[in-house]
Structure 1
Amino acid sequence: MPEPGLSPLQSSLPSAAAHFGAHVLAQAATVGVEAADTAPSTLPVPAAVGEPMPDLSRILRGPSGLGTAGLSLAARPVEAPVPVESGVPVASGVPVATGAPVASGAPASGAPVEALEIPGLYYHPVPEPDPVRVEEVSRRIKDWAVDEVELFPEEWEGQFDGFSVGRYMVACHPDAPTVDHLMVATRLMVAENAVDDIYCEDHGGSPIGLGGRLLLAHTALDPVHTTAEYQPQWAESLHADSPRRAYRSAMEYFVRQSTPSQADRFRHDMARLHLGYLAEGAWAQTDHTPEVWEYLAMRQYNNFRPCPTITDTVGGYELPADLHAQPAMQRVLALAGNASTIVNDLYSYTKELASPGRHLNLPVVLADREGLSERDAYLKAVEVHNDLMRDFEAESAALAAACPVPSLLRFLKGVAVWVDGNHYWHQTNTFRYSLPDFW
């Protein structure tokens, strides 16, 4: 039988967009005429993919006219560094369409920070996160972790501080209207890492019994509806350990800020994450090294997707459910999560090698399955990341052109900014990460 191939991306986008009124589409399709001199969006433009899209920058500038200023996708003007190796000019943080890697790891504005450099890695520099917000988010999240959910014992405090979650979340969500909005993402990020560390990884985690632990933790996100006799026992179980306490509390805050549709979307993505944890745990129990394609399939579930998928909640708006569910949007989100997670594989490579046991990451799987040296496997993992990034950018640009609804455009930009902020945090977190000596 012939291979079925990929599902066509010509989905029901036009009909979904029609729900928001022909006047919205007409306005979005003609924007930018009066604002030709404004700064361009930071949504990445694909490098040499398909036919040129001369109207894309006009579309991405967002609607114009009375009452539409809050929907603009234009970035605040920033001074981005000119790459020191590639010679590719940069405008407002967006490399020109050659797709060449940006060699400078310095932030786009503010004082340079210490940064790790992976030669050839394709990424976009970001502005240094607002230090006032970083400080406030860092203070609030530690108060929450220590006082509200008793997340970690005293001896883990240094590791918690070294995670620098405040800087992480401010970099990923620069459009958050308030610190309260940022805290929604920050609590969830910390809770997700607690589950990973304590249930799966190096703070007591084990693949043995993992399924039961994850199922019970997931009920803190997706409540159990049972009989009156057993409901109190389930409710009490949510306080049984720190991962469940963190999930329960973080989700309560999230539900207050989000719409029911956004909350259900997040629960779905967390189920994906937990499925990925289970696959990796099963491979660890059987000492199985997956094929490269199998590993990448697992990483599509065990990845960062729950974080960028809430970018609209953190931004104080909503991407409607029928637009979020479009196959083209799902592909964009999958590629964003995949690229972001391979970034983690690259920066955490030496950290995982130094940890007890055998940790699967893309360079390790490539070395084992394709017979490559450690260095060549690592360099090929960089190429895989770059391919995922360029596919993400191309699909984002195509979707923006096909369906220029303001909320969708803003969401696409938010996901792109999250991807860049995630790289920035990995690159600058020298407390946690170091690089192999392959250059």
Structure 2
Amino acid sequence: MSPLGGPTGVGTSAARRFAGRQALLRTDADLPALGLECPPPRRVDPLLAARLDARLLKWAERIGLYHGRLEQVRAAGFGRLAALCYPGTDNEDLLLVPARCALAIWAMDDHYCDNPDLGAVPSLLGSRLARASAVLGRVSLPARFEAPFAAAIRDDPALEGLRSAVGHLQRITTPAQLDRTLHTLRSLFTGLAQEGTWRATGHRPLVWEYLLNRQANSFTPCMTVIDALGGYQLPANVWAHPRVQDAVGTAALAASIANDIHSADVEDEGGDFNLQQAIVTEQDCTPAEALHLSAGLHNELMHRFHRQRAHLTVSGPRELPRFLDGVLDWCAGSLAWHQSAPRYRQRPGRPSPYGKEQP
């Protein structure tokens, strides 16, 4: 869900407006009654969150992200997201690293995919995503072309934000840790490009197609930095093991479904490329039924992750239980953030569906 208006963002460019579709309207009691299964966040520290948000806002202003809309960026609370999701450290400098990365990717999605007021042009999406992938590194241009490429980055706030965020990430990670994050970011760009193709062709994905896209366009990049922030390293061969990849992918998909559930009908807009809308279209059910089916898929995935985590904790190396605990912490913090972020709690003219303020 975009911090600046309609439903967009990291793992949330799923929710688009389109004509002729039924909005996924909820009652005020719907979301709490869904019973999304996830533990509460391990750390709730409003003062830490406020300090991180203030520093993040200064960074965004310096980069030029969301020019003229910085108060809405503050309200989005990406610093608070980092404080909730990474309880393994209290170091503000470290916590700012994933906060910058999250805001940079959200901004790229808004500037490129979703918001014409910020410069989004559908016909340019593919070339812009290719440039963004190049900004992630490993580009070996002849010397005389390096300066024009650097100038193109400086002239584009979305690219400059991504470049800066990855630069900060590089300073706290080993090469192996950095490589895993960049790999998952490129997968995320692939997911955004696929959505662009769906929009251009008018294709409405089946549920399995949508979930495949969500596996790429998910929160996995956020999870890749858990060990770097905790001051240890999950060995590269352990990260790459199919069972570990499956466990992390399961948790990331569950978190993405939770995001869909919370962002489906903000401002009463239709949910193009949203899980609930895919279910409504495919199964010819009501939006309320689709909402509960989505919650059931979320809980099914969380149960699977708990089983995977229990097995891997017994059979894996000593760093793995700590990392998987961090993945669960991330899911818990993300859900708490979604439950209390203003853009998910409130729609114009309607009270919060959550009642009192959440953590």
Q: TM-score range by the shorter chain?
A: 0.7 to 0.9
In structure 2, distance between residues paired with 1:158 and 1:140: 13
| Pairing 1:171–2:84 present | yes
- Paired residues of 2:37 and 2:302 also in contact (CA < 8 A): yes
Report the AA paired with residue 326 of structure 2. Answer: G
In structure 2, distance between residues paired with 1:419 and 1:302: 16
In structure 2, distance between residues paired with 1:278 and 1:380: 27
Q: C-alpha deviations, 1:224-248, integer Å up to 9, x for none?
A: 2111121211122211211101000
Which residue number corresponds to residue 57 of structure 2? 142
Q: C-alpha deviations, 1:363-421, integer Å up to 9, x for none?
A: 00000011111111111111111111111111111111111x22111111111100110
Equivalent residue for 1:394, pick from 292, 298, 307: 307
In structure 2, distance between residues paired with 1:318 and 1:381: 34
Q: 231-240 or 182-191: which moved more? A: 231-240
Equivalent residue for 1:222, pick from 120, 125, 137: 137
| Pairing 1:236–2:151 present | yes
Q: C-alpha deviations, 1:233-277, integer Å up to 9, x for none?
A: 112221121110100001111101110111111110001100110
Which residue number corresponds to residue 425 of structure 1? 337
| Pairing 1:379–2:303 present | no
In structure 2, distance between residues paired with 1:414 and 1:218: 27
How far off its partner does 1:177 sit? 4.5
3-state SS in 2 of match to 1:243: helix
3-state SS in 1 of match to 2:154: coil
TM-score of the superposed pair, with normalisation by structure 1: 0.69
RMSD: 2.1
Alignment of 1:283-322 (within 5 A): 283-322=198-237
* 1:300–1:346 distance in 2 versus 1, CA, 3 Å: same
* 1:278–1:411 distance in 2 versus 1, CA, 3 Å: same
TM-score of the superposed pair, with normalisation by structure 2: 0.84
- Paired residues of 2:57 and 2:70 also in contact (CA < 8 A): no
Which residue number corresponds to residue 66 of structure 2? 152
* 1:321–1:128 distance in 2 versus 1, CA, 3 Å: closer
| Pairing 1:120–2:32 present | no
How far off its partner does 1:352 sit? 6.8
Which residue number corresponds to residue 370 of structure 1? 283
Which residue number corresponds to residue 268 of structure 1? 183
Report the AA paired with residue 179 of structure 1. Answer: E
- Paired residues of 1:289 and 1:365 also in contact (CA < 8 A): yes
Report the AA paired with residue 72 of structure 2. Answer: Q
| Pairing 1:193–2:106 present | yes
In structure 2, distance between residues paired with 1:362 and 1:116: 15
Q: C-alpha deviations, 1:288-344, integer Å up to 9, x for none?
A: 111110110011001111001111112222111011000011001111110010011
Q: C-alpha deviations, 1:100-158, integer Å up to 9, x for none?
A: xxxxxxxxxxxxxxx962423222122452233212211111111112x111211x123
In structure 2, distance between residues paired with 1:283 and 1:433: 29
Structure 1: which 4+ aligned runs deviate by more than 6 Å? 435-438
In structure 2, distance between residues paired with 1:279 and 1:431: 26
In structure 2, distance between residues paired with 1:139 and 1:305: 26
Report the AA paired with residue 368 of structure 1. Answer: T
* 1:135–1:273 distance in 2 versus 1, CA, 3 Å: same
Q: Whose helix proportion is higher, 1 or 2?
A: 2
How far off its partner does 1:186 sit? 0.7
3-state SS in 1 of match to 2:143: coil
In structure 2, distance between residues paired with 1:223 and 1:247: 15
For structure 2, list consecutive stretches of 5 or more residues without a partner in the other structure: 1-29, 354-359
Q: C-alpha deviations, 1:341-374, integer Å up to 9, x for none?
A: 001100001117427xx62100000000111111
- Paired residues of 2:262 and 2:344 also in contact (CA < 8 A): no
- Paired residues of 1:364 and 1:374 also in contact (CA < 8 A): yes
Q: How many residues align?
A: 319
Which residue number corresponds to residue 104 of structure 1? none
Which residue number corresponds to residue 361 of structure 1? 274
Report the AA paired with residue 311 of structure 2. Answer: A
- Paired residues of 2:205 and 2:273 also in contact (CA < 8 A): no
How far off its partner does 1:179 sit? 0.9
In structure 1, distance between residues paired with 2:176 and 2:185: 14
Question: More relative contact order in 1 or in 2 (CA 8 Å, sep 6+)?
Answer: 2
Which residue number corresponds to residue 253 of structure 2? 338
